[in-house]
Amino acid sequence: MGSAQTPDPKDTPMLRMNYLQNETDVKKLVEGIKLMRQLFHSNFFDEFRGAEIAPGAEVQSDEALVAYIRNNCNTVWHPVGTCKMGIDPMAVVDPELRVHGVEGLRVVDASIMPTITTGNTNAPTIMIGEKAADLIKAGRTARTVLSKSNVQNPAYSPT
């Protein structure tokens, strides 16, 4: 989704959302429009059905539907799951939200969720932030206790 172009954290990262980059995704959306049309044209909707608003009755061919999708499809601003949490090779962050291979950086947002919640993402994202705050405070407390005891622990490197 995003990548740093330089090692300078003040530089703006490049964000590449990759929406509709996979043709399978586009085909699924085309089939979804066709299915919705089929459902709404069943006699169960006769008393409710009006004129099709979007993409419009004139948009029929797969090519026209693909063009409509590419021109009009967008996000609802609840992306999740782009920074997998875990200990496997595909994970971006560890269970304490630390980015693998980047010291001092954590990801603390909905991107660590494995899938989108069935409700709004606000409350779960707040809880991720609360958990991250607890993890950061616990790390600082552990470093303080260790330094006061003059104990070296490689898990907690001084910052």
Beta bridge partners of 98: 106
Where do runs of H (alpha helix) occur along 47-94?
62-72
Active-site residue, 78 included: yes
What does the alpha-carbon distance between residue 34 and residue 115 come to, in Å, rounded to a whole number? 26
- Taken in order 4, 10, 12, 17, the sign of the CA dihedral is positive
What does the alpha-carbon distance between residue 149 and residue 34 come to, in Å, rounded to a whole number? 68
User: Could you tell me if 28 and 35 are in contact, meaning their C-beta atoms sit under 8 angstroms apart?
Assistant: no
> Residue 65 burial (CB < 10 Å; 0-12/13-18/19+)?
buried
Active-site residue, selected from the candidate residues 78, 100, 137, 140: 78
Residue 23 has phi, psi (to 5 degrees) of -60, -25
Q: Which residues are catalytic?
A: 78
